[in-house]
Amino acid sequence: MEKNKTLVCKTPGELAYTDETVGPLAADQTLLKIKRIGICGTDLHAFNGSQPYFTYPRVLGHELAAEVVTSSDPNNFKPGATVTVMPYLNCGHCLACRSGKTNCCSAMQVFGVHRDGGMAEYLQVPTRLVINGQGLNLDELALVEPLAIGAHGIQRARVTPGEYVLVIGAGPIGLGAIEFARIAGANVIVMDTNARRLDFCQQKLKVKHIIHALYDNVIELLMEITGGDMPAVVIDATGNLNAINGAFQYMAHGGRFVLIGLQKGDINFSHPEFHKREATLMSSRNATVEDFNQVISAIKNKWVRPLLYITHRCTFGEAADEFQTWLNPENGVIKAMVTV
Residue ranges, the chain, pLDDT below 50: none
Could you please state the CATH topology (level 3) that the domain comprising 150-283 is classified under.
Rossmann fold (3.40.50)
* DSSP codes joined into one string, 241-303: HHHHHHHGGGPPTT-EEEE-S--SS-----HHHHHHTT-EEEE--S--HHHHHHHHHHHHTTS
Domain ranges of the chain: 3-142+305-339, 150-283
* 219 touches 249 (CB < 8 A): yes
pLDDT for the residue numbered 263 = 84
pLDDT tens per residue, range 225-234: 999 999 999 9
Q: Which amino acid is at 28?
A: D
Q: Which helix (H) or strand (E) holds 65?
A: strand 63-71
What is the CATH architecture assignment of 3-142+305-339? Alpha-Beta Complex (3.90)
The pTM is what?
0.94
pLDDT at 237: 96
Which tens digits make up the pLDDT trace of 253-282? 999 999 999 888 899 999 999 999 999 999
Exposure letters 210-240 (e unless 16+ CB within 10 A, then b): bbebeeeebeebbeebbeeebbbbbbbbbbb
Give the per-residue pLDDT at 1.
59
pLDDT of residue 329: 82
d(CA 301, CA 295): 10
* Domain 150-283 in the same topology as domain 3-142+305-339: no
Q: Around Cβ 254, how many Cβ atoms within 10 Å?
A: 11
